[in-house]
Amino acid sequence: MNHFEYRDGRLHVEDVPLADIAAEVGTPAYVYSSATLRRHYKVFAASLASAMPGGRHTVCYSVKANSNQAVIGVLAAMGSGADVVSGGELKRALKAGIPAEKIVFSGVGKTSAEMRQALEAGIKQFNVESEPELAVLSEVALGMGVRAPVAFRVNPDVDAETHAKISTGKAENKFGIPFDQARDIYRLAAALPSIDVIGVDVHIGSQLTRLAPFESAFARVAELTAQLRADGHRIRTLDLGGGLGIPYVRNAPWPQPDAYAGIIGRTVGHLGCELIFEPGRMITGNAGVLMSSVIYVKQGTNRRFVILDAAMNDLIRPAMYDAHHEILPETQPEDDDAWDRADLVGPVCESGDTFARDCEVPPLAAGDILCFETAGAYGAVMSSTYNTRPLVAEVLVDGDRFAIVRPREDVDSLIGRDRLPPWMQEDAAG
């Protein structure tokens, strides 16, 4: 459920007419709903609580999905922790008010500088993905005279049955430690004085629409945990990653948080560990839309093109993952409107700059506003300035209020980031 709905034929975000936002902020812009963010966080946390009454769990929102300070801030106020994958994300999470002791640090390529930054902050856990990474972390922690809390991310070789570019739990993926090497690396780590081995971590992919792959992966983690305990390790935390899919197609069935939590209860509930979760898309995906205006409607030889002011640089998902985002016109289509087929495209000079091909659209004319749904996760964070298109504005709605939470970038400051090398400056000076 989200809070984008029609009232008297006009699209509202919570209690704010979308047209008011467009008039003040312009298009394109991302628009997020605080109530939806809160609702998704609550639904997720409540499912876990009811599947494992009395069990300890920490929800560490995966900041990569949407790292706007205001968005993280809404979740921080709900008590969320954070999953970060860079020093930059760590800074963002801390700045938005997430306490260090609720932050886990994931990723295959942490640098020693990032490790130092995280140790100084006092984060909850490093999810270590290789032996060389362990060696560097051990050295950095030793140098600082501290102990690094470590879980190893294991690769269970399970097919997540999702898009190949976002599948991470197969043996051929770069992520995690191969299952058959796990016990050796735990033994190695336990002998290092600056490493505190505390847990096991797994994340098999993103946008999982079937729960069976989770079940296989978590069952393997449970087995490994028992083995590690028998080997003498005090495994206290299990980080089960993120990846729960959401409906991109309206009314499509999708895995329910309750069923997901049920699987967790069955597979790892008996181990008495603190459970950590890293949901990203599930929290922010349906809490945001990309608002855009029609620039032209153009009739081609055998198809019609609706040319929008938003483009692939603003929302890369259709071009990159063949992702589908439903459209939501600002004005509610009338029952007797004649819908037609068209391609929805942006102005960028690539044929891949297509949001949807040959899709049913209501009557649209230049100046009309429409939104792409489910753009709150992996939307703004993946945008670029390709074609010298400045980053778009981001807006947060809360009840009947809205505010710009990232102003539209201006072209001059974008160009102003370039520098001429000294020899070209001399040439220019004559």
Q: Which residues are catalytic?
A: 349
* Angle, vertex CA 90, rays to CA 84 and CA 96, nearest 5: 105
Tell how far CA 1 is from the center of its chain. Answer: 18
CB of 142 to ligand LLP, least distance (A): 26
Binding mask 230-269 for ligand LLP (x = CB under 6 A): -----------xxxx-------------------------
d(CA 37, CA 21): 19
Helix (H/G/I), strand (E/B), else coil: 155: strand
Kindly state the helix (H) or strand (E) to which residue 370 belongs, with its residue range: strand 369-372
Strand partners for 106: none
Largest alpha-carbon pair distance within the chain? 77
CB-wise, 239 or 343, nearer to ligand LLP? 239
Quote the Cα angle for 214-254-282, to 5°: 75
Stretch of residues binding ligand LLP (CB under 6 A), selected from 176-184, 202-210, 292-300, 394-402: 202-210
286 binds ligand LLP (CB under 6 A): no
- Residue 40 interacts with ligand LLP (CB under 6 A)? no
By CB under 6 A, residue 206 contacts ligand LLP? yes
Nearer Cβ to ligand LLP (117/207): 207
Near ligand LLP in 93-122, by CB under 6 A? 106
Question: Considering the complex, what minimum distance in angstroms separates the CB of residue 208 from ligand LLP?
Answer: 7
- Name which of 207 and 313 has its Cβ closer to ligand LLP: 207
Nearest one of 214, 237, 229 to 60, comparing CA atoms: 237
DSSP state of 410: P
Task: Note whether 281 binds ligand LLP by CB under 6 A.
Answer: yes
**Residue 19 structure tokens:** 């047209």
The one-character DSSP state at 310 is -
CB of 379 to ligand LLP, least distance (A): 8
User: Does the protein bind ligand LLP through residue 355 (CB under 6 A)?
Assistant: no
Are the CB atoms for 180 and 118 separated by under 8 Å? no
Q: Are 215 and 177 in contact (CB under 8 A)?
A: no
Please count the residues of the chain.
Answer: 430
Minimum Å gap between C-beta 384 and ligand LLP is 13
User: Of 29, 44, 27, 37, whose CA–CA distance to 2 is shortest?
Assistant: 37
Does residue number 199 form part of the binding site for ligand LLP (CB under 6 A)? Answer: no
**Judged by CB under 6 A, which of 40, 92, 317, 389 binds ligand LLP?**
317
Euclidean distance between CA atoms 219 and 36, whole angstroms: 32
Which amino acid is it at 312? M
Q: Pick the piece of the chain touching ligand LLP (CB under 6 A) from 2-10, 108-116, 200-208, 409-417.
A: 200-208
Nearest approach, Cβ of 364 to ligand LLP (angstroms)? 26
Identified binder of ligand LLP from the candidate list 83, 114, 196, 373, rule CB under 6 A: 83
Pick from 383, 131, 374, 72: nearest CA to 245: 374
Residue among 204 and 228 whose Cβ is closer to ligand LLP: 204
Identify residues 158-177 at the interface with ligand LLP (CB under 6 A): 166
- Binding to ligand LLP (CB under 6 A) within 60-79 occurs at 62, 65
Asked if residue 239 lies in contact with residue 200, where contact means CB atoms within 8 angstroms, the answer is yes
81 sits in which H/E element: strand 81-84
| Residue 213 sits in the site that holds ligand LLP (CB under 6 A) | no
By CB under 6 A, tell whether 81 contacts ligand LLP. no
First to last CA, the chain: 63
CB of 33 to ligand LLP, least distance (A): 18
| Binding test (CB under 6 A) with ligand LLP, winner from 2, 80, 86, 207 | 207
Nearer to ligand LLP, 52 or 382 (CB): 382
Catalog residues that contact ligand LLP under the rule CB under 6 A: 62, 65, 83, 106, 166, 203, 206-207, 241-244, 278-282, 317, 321, 377-378
